[in-house]
Amino acid sequence: MFTELYNNIYDFLTTAEERQINAMSVIYLGMKEDRWIPQNKLRSIIDRVVASASNVYMDTSSRQLRILRILPQMSAE
């Protein structure tokens, strides 16, 4: 189940319109998939997905920067 969640978030980060990429969208996807997922488990999955998806865009593209902003946004909330 968590593998499917990882894949769904990864697909979102790599294919969604850039303006849609933010922490709230990613958290929403996680809670939509499993509304009872523990916060620490969701955070762990998001950490791994952000690291993986940001590596796809190594050229400091605007998409990579939006992906990298997700973790600080989560800390602020």
Domain spans of the chain, in order of start: 2-76
Q: Are 62 and 25 in contact (CB under 8 A)?
A: no
pLDDT at 42: 96
Per-residue pLDDT of the chain (77 residues; tens, 9 = 90+): 689 999 999 999 999 999 999 999 999 999 999 999 999 999 999 999 999 998 887 666 888 999 999 999 988 65
Q: Please state the pTM of the whole predicted model.
A: 0.88
User: Which H or E run includes 74?
Assistant: helix 70-76
- Residue 6: C-alpha distances to residues 50, 56, 61, 65, 71 (Å): 10, 15, 22, 20, 15
Tokens 């303006």, residue? 19
pLDDT at 76: 67
- Residue 18: C-alpha distances to residues 25, 29, 52 (Å): 11, 16, 17
pLDDT at 1: 64
pLDDT at 5: 95
